Amino acid sequence: MSIPASKTRQLQALFSTLSEQHRQMLAMTVMAAKADGEIKLPYDELLVLLGADSEQDARWESIFSVAQPLYAEKAMRCDQIERDLLEGVWDFYLRDLDPVKASAWLSGELALPEIRKAMIASYTEMMESKKGERKLIKRFG
């Protein structure tokens, strides 16, 4: 699916009126929808129009920067963490656990240590209940 030229111009005009914070939040929403993949939309074109780049797309990596020496594309040992797992942990937090705080961090309203603490608190709370634990097992194995 592609966006027609006339609609592209309209979207550019609309997006240019948004604040940087709102463009970033909208871009993160589009990225989350793209990750869901439920509906075929021109996600990549929308992200280009919003000015989203791969650096913004990978900002979640800074949350896990303390574990970077353990990153692996495919974990072959118990001391390795698959990058896809970390991305999934962020994605689940962004879309399901606390999208408000995640968006606040992405827009610069929340500092890195604060988002880390919020994520830890959310996941800890889930692990303390049977229902939350089952949800995590279903999601991450």
**pLDDT tens digits, residue range 36-48?**
666 788 887 888 8
Residue 49 and residue 101 in contact, taking contact as beta carbons nearer than 8 Å: no
Question: Mean pLDDT throughout 114-123?
Answer: 96
Quickly state the pLDDT bin for 63 (edges 50, 70, 90): very high
Question: Mean pLDDT throughout 76-103?
Answer: 89
Quickly state the pLDDT bin for 85 (edges 50, 70, 90): very high
Quickly state the pLDDT bin for 105 (edges 50, 70, 90): confident
Secondary structure of residue 71 in the 3-state scheme: strand
Quickly state the pLDDT bin for 1 (edges 50, 70, 90): low
Sign of CA dihedral 127, 80, 74, 38: positive
Q: Burial, 104: exposed, middle or buried (Cβ in 10 Å; 0-12, 13-18, 19+)?
A: middle
Residue extents of the structural domains in the chain: 5-54, 59-140
Q: Global pTM?
A: 0.63
* Sequence-ordered list of residues with C-beta below 8 angstroms from that of 133, at least 6 positions apart, any chain: 126, 127
